[in-house]
């Protein structure tokens, strides 16, 4: 496939033209096809003849005007994005997962903004798969003084002790209400609490109520995502927990325990559930059902059985 000349070749072309060589001779000396040299002269010759710096500027300006080919024009990448949009993945999740699956192939990556641009400009029918109708994520209420998950001790990462939790919120319609889920990483024990609103004060109060009744050895740390409902996290380290950590943005796999549990909870409370219409008794029933299921990694003991022993020892 023919390629454009680079600046070094353009300087050589100007020198050969000045020395009187024909187009056929220039093409042979430069190792280029004669039509490539002919097109270069036709496109990039100015009023004062062919000059390499001017030719370079003209070629670059033409390239900018033409614009880059949309990355989603690639059939494989386009199919990858569409399949995950159908699963209700956000563009952020798609872009992050793509980088994780192809860590050494930057050419295979796609940014979240590219996906948004493709949907808004070329494929508006996919807007129905975007949360909030494709509006950009809200950026108000950024968290302050967050301890990154990268600073979390190995003893937590390796699940070698009890008392380390993961937390998240399941959101009701229009984010008006929700459900708090807390999962103990080693035992899988789950705590649930209905939230009348996702205001940070209510969320932190619910966490303190659920974990504050446990002995100190069972409330060592908790790891959240970067949702603004956890903005008052310093109250937890002051009153209940030893440490609070935050996963990286758009990295749900860093909180695998609570993400997996949320999937189980959705079997009882599907997406779109209005939690203001769910009674505390129903939430308690689901919590009990989850904690009384035997787990293979616990040698088919239940989370309740495992944690009951720890309650006696702490």
For residue 290, the model assigns a pLDDT of 95
Q: Which two tokens stand for residue 73?
A: 């024009």
Q: How many CB atoms lie within 10 A of CB 114?
A: 17
Asked if 116 and 234 sit in the same domain, the reply is no
For residue 313, the model assigns a pLDDT of 54
Domain limit, last residue, from 66, 83, 110? 66
Q: Which two tokens stand for residue 50?
A: 């062919």
According to DSSP, the residues that pair with 221 across neighbouring strands are: 164, 243
SS3 label, residue 87: coil
Q: What is the mean pLDDT of residues 130-135?
A: 64
Q: Which two tokens stand for residue 8?
A: 């070094």
Q: Which two tokens stand for residue 209?
A: 């109520």
Domain limit, last residue, from 42, 66, 90? 66
Domain limit, last residue, from 50, 66, 82? 66
Tell me, yes or no, whether 148 lies in a domain.
no
Query: What rounded mean pLDDT belongs to the chain?
Result: 88
* pTM, to two decimals: 0.56
The angle formed by the CA atoms of residues 116, 231 and 196, to the nearest 5 degrees, is 90
Cα 307 to Cα 16: distance, rounded to the nearest angstrom: 84
Cα 224 to Cα 161: distance, rounded to the nearest angstrom: 18
> Domain range for residue 205?
161-313
- Residue range 1-54, pLDDT digits in tens: 456 788 888 999 999 999 989 998 898 888 888 888 999 999 999 888 999 999
Q: Which residue has the higher pLDDT, 218 or 129?
A: 218
SS3 label, residue 32: coil
Query: Which residues have a Cβ under 8 Å from the Cβ of 129 and sit 6 or more positions away?
Result: 85, 86, 88
Q: What is the DSSP letter of 152?
A: S
- CATH code where residue 220 lies: 3.30.420.10
Tell me, yes or no, whether 186 lies in a domain.
yes
Query: Which residues have a Cβ under 8 Å from the Cβ of 195 and sit 6 or more positions away?
Result: 169, 177, 178, 179, 180, 202, 203, 206, 275
Asked if 211 and 297 sit in the same domain, the reply is yes
- How many structural domains does the chain have? 3
Tell me, yes or no, whether 127 lies in a domain.
yes
For residue 142, the model assigns a pLDDT of 60
- Residue range 262-273, pLDDT digits in tens: 999 999 999 889
Listed residue (64, 65, 63, 40) closest to 51, CA to CA: 40
Cα 189 to Cα 181: distance, rounded to the nearest angstrom: 10
Tell me, yes or no, whether 141 lies in a domain.
no
Tell me, yes or no, whether 155 lies in a domain.
no
Query: Which uninterrupted H or E stretch holds 78?
Result: helix 75-86
Asked if 77 and 166 sit in the same domain, the reply is no
For residue 47, the model assigns a pLDDT of 87
Q: Which residue has the higher pLDDT, 23 or 140?
A: 23
Percent pLDDT > 70 in the chain is 93
Q: Which two tokens stand for residue 192?
A: 């649930």
Asked if 253 and 193 sit in the same domain, the reply is yes
Tell me, yes or no, whether 146 lies in a domain.
no
């Amino acid at each position: 496939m023919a390629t454009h000349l680079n600046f070094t070749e353009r300087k050589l072309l100007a020198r050969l033209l000045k020395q009187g060589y024909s187009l056929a001779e220039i093409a042979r000396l430069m190792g280029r096809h004669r039509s490539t040299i002919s097109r270069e002269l036709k496109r990039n010759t100015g009023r004062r003849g062919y000059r390499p710096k001017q030719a370079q500027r003209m070629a670059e300006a033409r390239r900018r005007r033409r614009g880059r080919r949309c990355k989603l024009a690639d059939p494989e990448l386009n199919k990858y994005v569409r399949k995950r949009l159908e699963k209700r993945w956000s563009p952020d999740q798609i872009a992050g997962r793509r980088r994780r699956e192809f860590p050494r192939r930057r050419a295979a990556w796609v940014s979240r903004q590219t996906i948004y641009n493709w949907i808004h400009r070329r494929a508006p029918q996919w807007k129905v798969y975007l949360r909030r109708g494709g509006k950009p994520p809200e950026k108000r209420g950024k968290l302050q003084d967050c301890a990154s998950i990268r600073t979390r001790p190995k003893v937590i990462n390796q699940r070698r002790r009890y008392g380390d939790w993961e937390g998240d919120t399941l959101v009701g319609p229009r984010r008006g209400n929700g459900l708090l889920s807390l999962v103990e990483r080693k035992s899988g024990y789950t705590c649930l609490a209905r939230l009348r609103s996702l205001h940070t004060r209510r969320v932190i109060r619910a966490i303190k109520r659920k974990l504050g009744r446990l002995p100190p050895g069972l409330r060592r740390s908790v790891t959240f995502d970067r949702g603004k409902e956890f903005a008052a996290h310093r109250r937890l380290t002051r009153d209940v927990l030893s440490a609070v950590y935050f996963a990286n943005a758009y990295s749900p796999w860093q909180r695998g325990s609570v993400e997996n549990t949320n999937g189980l909870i959705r079997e009882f409370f599907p997406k779109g559930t209005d939690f203001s219409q769910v009674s505390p008794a129903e939430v308690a029933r689901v919590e009990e059902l989850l904690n009384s299921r035997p787990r293979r990694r616990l040698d088919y003991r239940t989370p309740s059985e495992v944690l009951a022993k720890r309650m006696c020892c702490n």
